[in-house]
């Protein structure tokens, strides 16, 4: 059946858009990957809860956990309560901890399910933070709470630390203390200021080369306590340069939602396998999960051309979803989940569904169709028509 709908054009006016309408490739059964793969997962808001949507957080717990089961069914791990889950943009710490608890509980019923959980300082009131000791105490509070649940840690970048740190030495002091206390190897997260402007100058400098030296020093001092580091700088050359200098056994988890396909495939350059490719911890894998799973399985079987054939067409969509202002990428992730029937509504924690224009969402729809990412094209078209009607397009 031929599908089409009216969509707005960037140049003005409307066009009749005919869909390609091909659903994504999905494996009948998950297959082993030769990379570690985590999807940073979004949360599903409860739009019917009694709350102030800009200031209070309410989740649809069933739909939120069901989406994690969907990711596990595709062979991917879940990076829980990260920025994709709107951490720092609507998802507060008490709700984050409850989310971590529920996700870890659900994982017990899924053989081999992987979960790593965000540990930060976001429960602090920034104006009340005066010293590095305040930051360390906040990290320790969240570390203790997550580890009490049996969770593996992702040490998230801290707005509070960026606010009070005066030099790279301050960062070294904080990370030395937190890493020395972790019960099992953690993942560090270097989140660029394009994702969060409050993290500008993280690691004590605005010079990324100098920042890298600080991070590598921390990693070398605590290699036994670090599984890997995720860097989200949207700069493949910086990621590759750092990857080649990582200590033995410390993984590079790509957070580059612009260049993930080539970074995961790798270049074969480096003294150890860990230096030759990037593993994956990506927000975009939430939106393209079936395609990502099929591509990673192909890569594990040595089918590099198939890997690129599946994943390559998803990159334009990802670059659109993560376009500036990049911090609003979560809207595109949730929009894809709604189009694909993983939630009943297009509402977000904090009212964040309003951060992207209808023109942006229309182009997202086109790119998703072009990349064969609409799981049920007919249903996705019906939902898009409903959204267009709400914007005056009949």
Residue 172, domain extent: 33-314
**pTM for the full predicted model:** 0.96
- pLDDT, average across residues 186-191: 97
Decide if 288 is inside a domain: yes
Q: What is the DSSP code (8-state) at residue 259?
A: T
Q: Identify which of 167, 233, 219 has the alpha carbon closest to the alpha carbon of residue 188.
A: 219
Is residue 77 scored above 90 in pLDDT?
Answer: yes
| Longest CA span, the chain | 63
- pLDDT, average across residues 231-249: 96
Decide if 343 is inside a domain: no
CB neighbours of residue 31 within 10 Å: 14
Number of helices (H), then strands (E), in the chain: 15, 10
Decide if 179 is inside a domain: yes
Decide if 358 is inside a domain: no
Predicted confidence band of residue 1 (pLDDT cuts 50, 70, 90)? low
DSSP 317-353: HHHHHT-SSGGGHHHHHHHHHHHTTSSS----GGGGG
Decide if 394 is inside a domain: no
Q: Give how far the C-alpha of residue 133 lies from the chain's centroid of Cα atoms, to the nearest Å.
A: 29
Is residue 226 scored above 90 in pLDDT?
Answer: yes
- pLDDT, average across residues 176-186: 97
* CA–CA distance, 253 with 112 (Å, rounded to integer): 20
Is residue 29 scored above 90 in pLDDT?
Answer: no
Tally of domains in the chain: 1
Strands 77-80, 152-155: pairing kind: unpaired
Q: Is 285 left (phi over 0), alpha (psi -120 to 50) or beta?
A: alpha
Please report, for the domain that includes residue 144, its CATH number.
3.20.20.70
Predicted confidence band of residue 234 (pLDDT cuts 50, 70, 90)? very high
Predicted confidence band of residue 246 (pLDDT cuts 50, 70, 90)? very high
Strands 186-191, 152-155: pairing kind: parallel
Decide if 367 is inside a domain: no
pLDDT of residue 94: 97
* CA–CA distance, 366 with 20 (Å, rounded to integer): 9
pLDDT of residue 31: 81
Q: Identify which of 158, 112, 108, 118 has the alpha carbon closest to the alpha carbon of residue 137.
A: 158
Decide if 90 is inside a domain: yes
At 197-222, the pLDDT tens digits run 999 999 999 999 999 999 999 999 99
At 282-315, the pLDDT tens digits run 999 999 999 999 999 999 999 999 999 999 999 9
Predicted confidence band of residue 147 (pLDDT cuts 50, 70, 90)? very high
pLDDT of residue 270: 85
* Count of CA atoms in the C-beta half-sphere (13 A) of 52: 3
Decide if 8 is inside a domain: no
pLDDT of residue 53: 80
């Amino acid at each position: 059946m031929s599908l089409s709908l009216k969509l707005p054009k960037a140049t003005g006016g409307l066009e009749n858009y005919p869909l390609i309408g091909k659903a994504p490739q999905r494996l009948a059964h998950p297959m082993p990957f030769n990379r570690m793969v985590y999807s940073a997962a979004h949360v599903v808001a409860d739009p019917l809860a009694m709350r102030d949507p800009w200031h209070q957080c309410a989740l649809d717990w069933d739909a939120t956990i069901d989406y994690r089961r969907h990711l596990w069914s595709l062979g991917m791990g879940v990076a829980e309560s990260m920025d994709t889950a709107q951490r720092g943009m609507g998802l507060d710490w008490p709700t984050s901890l409850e989310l971590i608890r529920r996700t870890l509980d659900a994982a017990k019923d899924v053989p081999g399910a992987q979960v790593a959980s965000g540990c930060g300082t976001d429960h602090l009131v920034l104006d009340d933070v005066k010293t590095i000791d305040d930051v360390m105490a906040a990290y320790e509070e969240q570390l203790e709470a997550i580890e009490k649940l049996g969770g593996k840690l992702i040490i998230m970048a801290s707005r509070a630390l960026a606010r009070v740190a005066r030099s790279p030495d301050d960062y070294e002091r904080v990370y030395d203390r937190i890493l020395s206390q972790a019960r099992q190897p953690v993942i560090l997260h270097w989140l660029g200021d394009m994702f969060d402007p409050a993290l500008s100058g993280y690691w004590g400098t605005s010079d990324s080369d100098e920042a890298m030296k600080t991070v590598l020093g921390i990693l070398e001092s605590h290699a036994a306590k670090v599984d890997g580091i995720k860097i989200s700088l949207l700069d493949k050359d910086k990621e590759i340069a750092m990857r080649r200098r990582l200590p033995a056994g410390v993984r590079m988890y790509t957070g580059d939602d612009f260049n993930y396909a080539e970074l995961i495939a790798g270049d074969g350059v480096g003294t150890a396998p860990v230096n030759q490719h990037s593993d994956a911890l990506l927000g975009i894998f939430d939106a393209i999960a079936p395609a990502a799973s099929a591509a990673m399985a192909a890569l594990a079987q040595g089918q590099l051309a198939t890997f690129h054939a599946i994943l390559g067409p998803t990159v334009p969509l990802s670059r659109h979803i993560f376009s500036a202002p990049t911090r609003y990428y979560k809207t595109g992730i949730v929009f894809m989940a709604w189009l694909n029937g993983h939630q009943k509504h297009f509402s977000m924690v904090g009212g964040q569904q309003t951060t992207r224009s209808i023109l942006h969402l229309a182009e997202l729809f086109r790119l998703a169709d072009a990349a064969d990412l609409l799981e049920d094209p007919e249903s996705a078209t019906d939902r898009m028509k409903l959204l267009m009607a709400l914007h005056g397009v009949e």
